Structure 1
Amino acid sequence: MSAEPSAATTRTPAGIGRGLVLLLAITCGAAVANIYYAQPLLPIIGQALRVSEGTAGLLVTASQVGYALALALLVPLGDVLERRRLVSALLGVTALTLLGAAFAPGFAALLAAVALVGVTSAVAQIVVPMSASLADDESRGRVVGTVMSGLLIGILGARTLAGFVAELGGWRAVFGLGAALMLVLAVVVRLVLPLVPAPAPDTSYPRLLGTVLALIRDDPVLRVRMALAAVGFACFSVLWTAVSFLLAAPPYVYGPATIGLFGLAGLAGALAAPLAGRLADRGHALRTVTVGLVTLAVSWAFLGLGGVSLAALLAGIVLLDLAQQSLQISHQSAIYARHPQARSRVTTAFVTSAFAGGAVGSAAASTLYVVAGWVGVCVLGGVIALIGTGIWVLAHVRGIASPDAPLRTA
């Protein structure tokens, strides 16, 4: 029997130190990176396992579908279980699933392993609301922004790391390295992170899942932010699924290491996260969303020129990632402020919607690229961004854009 005090009776200290914020940001980024290692490797994985580009692109879709399922069924446990133990255990299981991907004998086995990696890597979305719970009211937006910076660095840095490791040791070594990192983090989190009590420890699991649906039903602001999350992440996935195919073909013809370097262009979005968090703390979240949606739409004009212009492609990547990260922080700050006792559950609703949009976007991009090329992919991204702008305008008209809008049923 463990000698540790129970999560229900242990209190964490008010506020959160910089060291713990950094650990949470690293954990969040390293966990979410697992579902993006394959993206710059799609051409060489397809060649190695003798499948088409469109089929190889299903690896991205499988990981995002697994992630979305875990968000719906696994992340709510962060509101009823002690979160240090939960995070540490999931990191350990993630290490095992990554080993399965590293030793997969064929494409079907790799597809299944990558889907399971997506499921367990959803631990990142338990870490985000946990950081919000540890922070005080005055610094919550900044803390969440910093942790989300780690998440974005993980998403984009994964491509760069995967490209270099694949050049040196092949694509299987990428998943092996990821497994080792997850194992180390599982131990560090267990030893360093304080006990983090669950806000609703006496709630049954079926009731917990039911309250997620009730939150969606009763909160129009949450529904709007879920829709915008789906739009933003669909754009993000359209770009990063198709760009590896663009860069591997003429006029670029880059290898996996060079393709992976393009993830660094998107890291500018990580700089936007703490700024967006501070703007949310100061009451400017609505303006941040408006500017973010306009920037998201404009980015696709630059990306459309990226088929023949490297400068335009880089500019479009930077703009899209800046917009996406600013939008993500603004949305999460709004919904966390509205539901302080249910942050894991609103995270479930919000990020499930985001990754459902991402899965649709990646599947559409990998299919459309074969048929219509890069220009067709960019038209798709632009249309999705404009849909998001329309949703935001409608939310203003209906009075449900502000985080202070009242709860009510639809």
Structure 2
Amino acid sequence: MTPLKEAGANHAPMPAWITWLLATACGLIVANIYYAQPLAGPISTSLGMSPQMAGTIVTMTQVGYGLGLLFLVPLGDLFENRRLVFCALALDIVALVAAGVAFSPVMFLVAALFIGFGSVAVQVLVPYAAHLSPEATRGRAVGNVMSGLMLGIMLARPVASLVTQLSSWHVIFIASAAIMVLLGVVLWRALPQRMPSPRPRYRELLASMGHLALTTPILRRRALYQACLFAAFSIFWTVTPLWLASPAFGLSQGGIAIFALLGVAGAIAAPLAGRMADRGWTRAATLIAMLAVGIAFALTRIDASLVLLVLAAFVIDFGVSANLVLGQRAIFALNPAHRSRLNGLFMATFFLGGAAGSGLGGWAYAHGGWPLASWLGIGLTGAALLYFATEPRRRPL
């Protein structure tokens, strides 16, 4: 396979088949982080965990993902990208198998941590897509690939619930390990090599991340926007499966799967947001995305019916998907040589927000049910809007 030239040398649009391959790969890989989210109840019961610890199942995966973003993803600016993805997938496969055969809480939680760590392969592929794309269509390309990622996040929940309904929660992790083996082979054979240039040492690479965080206002702002929204997103999707399975609704895992599936349509926001960013409408699109999430939580405070919960799921997924693409489009417009590090910092910041949201969601549901959880979601969205109000109007983000 011909090595890929650095960004700036490539002016042709990314071939459609590579776009679809990267989008599919991103969706399949990132789904590993979310299979456990709707299964927190069955997994915690099976392994003898307390209800208060249910949120920890998702939190451990997201913490592992955050660590991988900080320490593994920056290697995309140092090592050949295809090889790095393959190594991360190998770790993911081992962790998925361990989760599938877990017989104790400690074993599962350690496996969950490494599932998250290995799944950061997806965040090596997203900057890779940006390198393949010319500036004029970079937002569209990233949006298309991110639509695959968001579909993976959203479909993971109904798929996991449905598989568990038909068999056992163990099966979803073993099946995903087999899929990762096949995907690794396909990516290795199909993708062109990309060797970064120049190539700093790993120690210098990590040290430079602190400098980038301190000296890149766009990065900090976009990362904190998304951290607030993703924390709210995680609260919603940690709490609603527990609530829907409770006597208040009495849904089975199959019913929860259908509920989650109805929210998948929110992924259409990713390519739309990419096109808006390419046209210079980032500020307006960001405001719309934030308001959408806040309004969705507010709707459930008016009437916590199943219909309004479905509508809220769609709107929250729409807003978070849109804001994610807008943020990545903004940071990928910066120095191409720093893309993996910038993306790692961006994703680590907001995924740590997501991990905090998952933990808060489990605690809130245990102590105040949906009312407390929804108020937390509204508060986090309000914090993002307050920070957005301080954004300099003359600086496009």
Shared fold, TM over 0.5: yes
Partner of 1:344: 340
The whole-number CA distance in structure 1 between the counterparts of 2:337 and 2:57 is 36
Q: Counterpart of 1:333 in structure 2: which amino acid?
A: R
Residues 224-263 of structure 1, C-alpha deviations (whole Å, 9 max, x = no match): 1111111111011111111111111022111222212222
Residues 312-332 of structure 1, C-alpha deviations (whole Å, 9 max, x = no match): 101111111111111111111
Report the secondary structure of 2:34's partner residue: coil
Residues 88-112 of structure 1, C-alpha deviations (whole Å, 9 max, x = no match): 2221221111001011121111011
Residues 306-364 of structure 1, C-alpha deviations (whole Å, 9 max, x = no match): 63x11110111111111111111111111111222211111011001111100111101
Partner of 1:222: 219
The whole-number CA distance in structure 1 between the counterparts of 2:370 and 2:113 is 26
Residues 270-304 of structure 1, C-alpha deviations (whole Å, 9 max, x = no match): 11111110111111111100111111111111233
Report the secondary structure of 1:247's partner residue: helix
- 1:104·1:110 contact (CA, 8 Å) conserved in 2? yes
Tell me how far 1:210 sits from its aligned partner: 1.5
Q: 1:400 and 1:207, CA in 2 relative to 1: closer, same or farther beyond 3 A?
A: farther
Partner of 2:258: 261
- 1:7·1:81 contact (CA, 8 Å) conserved in 2? no
**What pairs with 1:65-104 in structure 2 (closer than 5 Å)?**
65-104=63-102
Partner of 1:275: 272
Tell me how far 1:8 sits from its aligned partner: 8.7
The whole-number CA distance in structure 2 between the counterparts of 1:303 and 1:63 is 28
Partner of 2:153: 155
Indicate the RMSD between aligned Cα atoms, in angstroms: 1.9
Residue in structure 2 matching 1:388, options 377, 384, 387: 384
The whole-number CA distance in structure 2 between the counterparts of 1:343 and 1:296 is 28
Residue in structure 2 matching 1:250, options 223, 247, 266: 247
Tell me how far 1:12 sits from its aligned partner: 7.5
Tell me how far 1:6 sits from its aligned partner: 7.6
**What pairs with 1:313-324 in structure 2 (closer than 5 Å)?**
313-324=309-320
Partner of 2:177: 179
Of all paired residues, the percent bearing the same amino acid is 36
Residue in structure 2 matching 1:17, options 15, 23, 48: 15
**What pairs with 1:18-167 in structure 2 (closer than 5 Å)?**
18-167=16-165
The whole-number CA distance in structure 2 between the counterparts of 1:233 and 1:152 is 12
Q: Give the unaligned 5+ runs of structure 2.
A: none
Residues 113-145 of structure 1, C-alpha deviations (whole Å, 9 max, x = no match): 011101000111111111011111121111100
Structure 2 residue 288 is the aligned partner of structure 1 residue 291: yes
Deviates more, 1:13-22 or 1:53-62: 13-22
Structure 2 residue 379 is the aligned partner of structure 1 residue 402: no
Report the secondary structure of 2:13's partner residue: coil
Q: Counterpart of 1:252 in structure 2: which amino acid?
A: F
Q: Counterpart of 1:116 in structure 2: which amino acid?
A: F
Q: 1:199 and 1:389, CA in 2 relative to 1: closer, same or farther beyond 3 A?
A: farther
The whole-number CA distance in structure 1 between the counterparts of 2:300 and 2:106 is 33
Q: 1:9 and 1:323, CA in 2 relative to 1: closer, same or farther beyond 3 A?
A: closer
Structure 2 residue 356 is the aligned partner of structure 1 residue 360: yes
Q: 1:402 and 1:73, CA in 2 relative to 1: closer, same or farther beyond 3 A?
A: same
The whole-number CA distance in structure 1 between the counterparts of 2:373 and 2:350 is 19
Partner of 1:406: none
The whole-number CA distance in structure 1 between the counterparts of 2:47 and 2:112 is 15
Tell me how far 1:14 sits from its aligned partner: 4.2
The whole-number CA distance in structure 1 between the counterparts of 2:5 and 2:312 is 48
Structure 2 residue 299 is the aligned partner of structure 1 residue 302: yes
- 2:11·2:133 contact (CA, 8 Å) conserved in 1? no
Report the secondary structure of 1:394's partner residue: coil
- 1:7·1:82 contact (CA, 8 Å) conserved in 2? no
The whole-number CA distance in structure 2 between the counterparts of 1:178 and 1:12 is 35
Q: 1:191 and 1:6, CA in 2 relative to 1: closer, same or farther beyond 3 A?
A: closer
The whole-number CA distance in structure 2 between the counterparts of 1:113 and 1:198 is 31
Tell me how far 1:199 sits from its aligned partner: 4.0
- 2:290·2:384 contact (CA, 8 Å) conserved in 1? yes
Q: 1:104 and 1:287, CA in 2 relative to 1: closer, same or farther beyond 3 A?
A: same
